[in-house]
Amino acid sequence: MNKNSRRNEKNAPTRGKGAKNPLKTLKRLLVYAFSRNKLATAFMVIFVLFSSVTKITATQFVAKIINELSMPVNGISPDMVGIVYPSIIAISAIYLIGSASDFAYNIIMMYIANGTLKKMRDEMFAKMQKLPLKYFDSRTHGDLMSLYTNDVDTMRQLLTQTIPQLISSALTLVAVFVYMVIYSVTLLLVVLAVLIAIIFITKFVAGKSAKYYLTHQIALGGLNGYVEEMTEGQKVIKVFCHEEKARERFKILNDELNESGRKAHKYAFILGPVNNNLGYIQYVLVALVGVMVIAFGGESALLSVYCSALGNGVVGMIIAFLMASRQFNMPVQQVSQQLSAIVMALAGAERIFQMVDTLPEDGGGEVTLTFGENESGKWAWKKPAADGGYEYIPLKGDIRFDDVVFGYTDEKVILNNISLYAKPGQKIAFVGSTGAGKTTITNLINRFYDINSGTITYDGLDIKSIKKDDLRKSLGVVLQDTHLFTGTVMENIRYGRLDATDEECINAAKLANADFFISHLPEGYETKIKGDGANLSQGQRQLLAISRAMVSECPVLILDEATSSIDTRTEKLIEKGMDKLMEGRTVFVIAHRLSTVRNSHAIMVLEHGEIIERGSHEQLLEQKGKYYQLYTGAFELD
C-alpha cells in the first residue's frame, strides 16, 4: 500500500458505520434536488397523485362488477352484462390514466435526476479546484474518482426510482387508509397489525445492513485507488517481477469489497420474501375477519350506509377491501425492497456532502498582481491604501524568510527557525539529504501550506496579504514529478500562459532545448499526448515542463530537481538557455547534482529542517563542512 493509501486509511470515515445522520442527509439531498426544479416537482407530484387515486378508484368499480354478477340466482342475463360494460370501460379508462401518470412522473423524475447529478458533479469539480493541497495529500486518486462515479451513481436510482416510489407510496397509503377507515375499523386493525410487523422487521433489517453500506463505498474507493496505482506502475511491477504480489494485494482488497457487499445486501434481500409472506398472511386474515363481520353482523349499520351510498353490496366491498389491503401493504413492501438503494445512496451522498462541505483554501489577502497599471508599465503589486486608493509596489522578486517554523502536522516540525533571503535576480540553491526540507521551502513560497510561525515576505509584503492566485501567477515552477495533460504538445507548453502565441511557445521550447525532439515527433507540436506523456521519455517530459515554465515569463522561478531526469549532455545544452531564462529573475533551485548549483549566488545546506551551512560555492568549499564532503564525494546524498 502506498503512502497516499495509508493516509486515506487514516482519514477515512470509521469503518463499519453507515451515514451518521441519514435523515439529515436525505433531507439535504431532497432540498438539493427539488428546490432547483420547483415547477417540474409540482407536476411530478400531481401525476403521482393521479396514479395513486386511480388505484383506489378502480377497486370501487371492481366491487360494483362483483356485486352485479353475484346478485342474480338464475345466472347472468344479457341485460346484466350490459350493465357491467360501463364499469369495465371505466376501469380501463382509470388504469389508462394511471399508466399515463406513471409514465409522465417517471419522465419528469428522469429530467430532475439527470439535472441534479450534472449540477452535483459541476459543483464537486468546482469545489475540488478550491480545496487545499493537504486535502489531496490525505486521499488516493481512486477514492476521489469514486466520488464522481460510484457515489454519484448510487443517487441516480434514488432520484429516478426510489423517491417517486416513496411519494407514490405515501399518497397511496393516505388514500387507502381513509377508504378503509370509512369501510371497516375492525378490518383496518388487522391490516395495521400486519403493517406494524412489516415496519418493525424493515427497521430491524435496515439497522443491520446500513452500517455496512458506507464500508462498502469506502472499500470500493480503496479498490479503485489500488487499480489506478497498479495501472500507472505496470512497468515497475514487471521490472521487479511483482505481478503475483500485486495480485495478492488486489485479492485482499477485492475480498474486503466482496465481504462488505455481501453483508450489506444480505439483510436487504431478506426483506422481500418476509414482507411478501406477511402480505399473504394479512390477505387471509382480512378475508377470515371479513366473513366473520358479515356472518355476525359486525359494523353492519355503517357498512350498510356506505354500501348504499356507493351502490355496492357487502360481498363486493369485502373483495374491494381485500384489494385495498394489498394496495396498502404493497407500498411498504416496495419501499423495503428499495432499502438497499436508499442506504447506499445516503452513504454516497454523505461522502459527497463531506467533500462539498470541506473548507476551501483560503484565498489570501487583498494585494493583487497587475501589469501596466503603474507608472513603469510593468508587473506590480496592487495594494489597497488607507485613503481608498491603491499603492503600486514594483514586482522585483525579493523573497525573505524570517525565523520560519513549519510542520505538516502539529506533532512533527519539518522546518525549524529558517531565515534566508533572495534578492532580485539572485539564484539561491538548496541541497541536502532527502527529507531535509528543501521542497517544503518552495511549497511555502507558493503558499500550498501556511507556516506555523515567523514571516515570509515578497517585495516587502507578507505573502499572507497577497491573493494566492496572484502570488502563484508570479511564480514559474518546474516540479520533479512532471505532469502532462491530455492534448497536444503545443497545448501543454501553453499551459504556462494561456494567451501565449504559437511562436512564443516554440521559442520557449527552443530555449529549453526541447524543439529538437519535438520536431521529430510524428506530428511535431501537434502530436497528441495521452496517459501523462507515456509515449515520451522522462527527460522529454521534463523538457516540456521547463518549456512551460519558460513561456510563463514569471519573475520568480522555482526549479525542483528540474534536470534530474536529463542526461549530462542535454543538461549542459540547456544550461545556456536556462541562464538566459534566469536573467533578471529570482531563482530557487533544488538539486542533487551539485554541478548545477555551482554558479548560485548562495547555497543553503539543509539537514533535519535547519540550515547548517550557507554561502557561495567557493566559500562552502573553504569551510570544508558538509557541502565540501558532498562535493568531494566524502559524503553522498541519500
Q: How many CA atoms lie within 13 A of 330 on its CB side?
A: 14
Residue 289: pLDDT above 60?
A: yes
CA 631, distance to chain mean position in Å, is 48
pLDDT on residue 67: 58
Determine the 3-state secondary structure of 296 from DSSP: helix
Q: What is the DSSP string of 188-236?
A: HHHHHHHHHHHHHHHHHHHHHHHHHHHHHHHHHHHHHHHHHHHHHTHHH
pLDDT on residue 420: 92
pLDDT on residue 638: 45
Mean pLDDT to the nearest integer, 315-322: 65
Q: Under a CB-based contact definition with an 8 Å cutoff, are residues 570 and 514 in contact? A: no
**Which tens digit of pLDDT belongs to each residue from 580-594?**
667 778 889 887 777
For residues 123 and 572, which has the higher predicted lDDT (pLDDT)? 123
Residue 157: pLDDT above 60?
A: yes
pLDDT on residue 466: 93
The Cα–Cα gap between 590 and 594 comes to 10
Nearest to 542 by CA among 520, 588, 497, 574: 574
Determine the 3-state secondary structure of 429 from DSSP: strand
Q: Which of 55-69, 181-195, 337-351, 610-624 has the lowest mean pLDDT?
A: 55-69
Question: What confidence tier does 317 reach under pLDDT thresholds 50, 70, 90?
Answer: low
For residues 111 and 400, which has the higher predicted lDDT (pLDDT)? 400
For residues 222 and 325, which has the higher predicted lDDT (pLDDT)? 222
Q: What is the DSSP string of 263-275?
A: HHHHHHHHHHHHH
pLDDT on residue 211: 66
Residue 456: pLDDT above 70?
A: yes
Chain mean pLDDT for the chain: 78
The Cα–Cα gap between 156 and 114 comes to 8
Name the amino acid, one letter, at 502.
Answer: D
Q: Which of 189-193, 278-282, 389-393, 626-630 has the lowest mean pLDDT?
A: 278-282
Q: Which of 267-281, 362-376, 494-508, 608-622 has the lowest mean pLDDT?
A: 267-281
Residue 488: pLDDT above 60?
A: yes
pLDDT above 90 as % of the chain: 12
Residue 578: pLDDT above 80?
A: no
For residues 537 and 203, which has the higher predicted lDDT (pLDDT)? 537
pLDDT on residue 207: 66
- Strand runs labelled E in 302-398: 368-371, 379-384, 390-394
pLDDT on residue 302: 43
* Cβ partners under 8 Å of residue 618, min gap 6: none
**From the CB of residue 142, how many other CB atoms can be counted at a distance below 10 Å?**
22
For residues 252 and 278, which has the higher predicted lDDT (pLDDT)? 252
Nearest to 544 by CA among 556, 522, 562, 558: 562
Q: What is the DSSP string of 96-144?
A: HHHHHHHHHHHHHHHHHHHHHHHHHHHHHHHHHTTS-HHHHHTS-HHHH
Determine the 3-state secondary structure of 597 from DSSP: helix
Mean pLDDT to the nearest integer, 64-90: 60
Residue 311: pLDDT above 50?
A: no
Question: What confidence tier does 296 reach under pLDDT thresholds 50, 70, 90?
Answer: low
Mean pLDDT to the nearest integer, 58-68: 64
Mean pLDDT to the nearest integer, 487-499: 88
Residue 526: pLDDT above 90?
A: yes
Nearest to 286 by CA among 365, 359, 192, 202: 192
pLDDT above 70 as % of the chain: 76
For residues 404 and 194, which has the higher predicted lDDT (pLDDT)? 404
Contacts by residues 68-71 (CB-CB < 8 Å, ≥ 24 positions apart): 70/313, 70/315, 70/316, 71/313
Mean pLDDT to the nearest integer, 88-96: 81
Question: What confidence tier does 430 reach under pLDDT thresholds 50, 70, 90?
Answer: very high
Determine the 3-state secondary structure of 470 from DSSP: helix
> Please, what are the domains in the chain?
20-357 (1.20.1560.10), 399-632 (3.40.50.300)
For residues 162 and 375, which has the higher predicted lDDT (pLDDT)? 162
Nearest to 209 by CA among 264, 159, 256: 264
**Overall pTM > 0.85:** no
Residue 490: pLDDT above 90?
A: yes
Nearest to 290 by CA among 184, 193, 177, 192: 184
Instruction: Order across the sheet with 461-462: list the strands.
Output: 415-422, 399-406, 453-458, 461-462
Residue 65: pLDDT above 70?
A: no
pLDDT on residue 525: 93
pLDDT on residue 400: 94
Question: What confidence tier does 4 reach under pLDDT thresholds 50, 70, 90?
Answer: very low
